[in-house]
Amino acid sequence: MTVITTSNGYKYRPLEESDETFILECLKDYPIGSNTLHQRRNEFANMLYVTEGFNETKVKNKTSLQSITMVTEKADGTPIGFQHIEIDNLLVELRMGATHPTHRRQGHSTARLMLLGEFAYNHLGCTGTWLEIVDTNNLNKVADTWRDDISANETERTNENKFGDTQTYTLKKIQITAAEHETHRAGHSTWGTVTYTIE
């Protein structure tokens, strides 16, 4: 399967069975609150199952929905975060993504999004991405850096029991095209000069 490395030392690769402990730790408080060990193991098993069956040809030919979980590593091989995506008709839905608790608030979320763009748009030929995420101050801090380059309107909705509890959450839907991603990447002070190698 495809592995992407960057000139600034990041690596983007498919999920492996040996990632179990790392993923369970990422999911423990995802997206808020606490998830049981049983829930997290089931989620990991599903992500591994679909990743092992991922078919790039079917994505490019638009013949079936495909899902994959990609892991981002630092230059020393330490996994720092993951993204679980579904691709249908060259449109990516970012279903889930998280940075490991020991690596949060260190700029790695930007790396994960830039690598997702390289994988989805430049390698697979996808045309856009969308995600729906719980509205928090942390979300707004990340989204604010992208909003000037995104032309699509964001939408909001409320959802009860989204995560199996009794709370009501505000969910933000954010959409971005391949061209908007490239505009943002090219103008980024760090990522504008980064090059990618695909194996």
Q: 41-56, pLDDT tens digit by residue?
A: 999 999 999 999 999 9
Alpha carbons 43 and 112: distance in angstroms, whole number: 20
**pLDDT class for 93, splitting at 50, 70, 90?**
very high
Whether the link from the prior residue into 31 is cis, omega within 30° of 0, is yes
Whether the per-residue pLDDT at 117 is higher than 60: the answer is yes
**Of 96-100, 115-119, 190-194, where does mean pLDDT reach its minimum?**
96-100
> Which amino acid appears at position 150 of this protein?
I
Position with higher pLDDT, 184 vs 171: 184
Helices (H), the chain: 20-27, 37-52, 56-61, 108-117, 137-147, 178-187
**pLDDT tens readout for residues 141-180:** 556 655 566 666 666 666 655 555 566 667 777 888 999 8
**pLDDT tens readout for residues 58-76:** 999 999 999 999 999 999 9
Answer yes or no: are the C-beta atoms of 102 and 149 closer than 8 Å: no
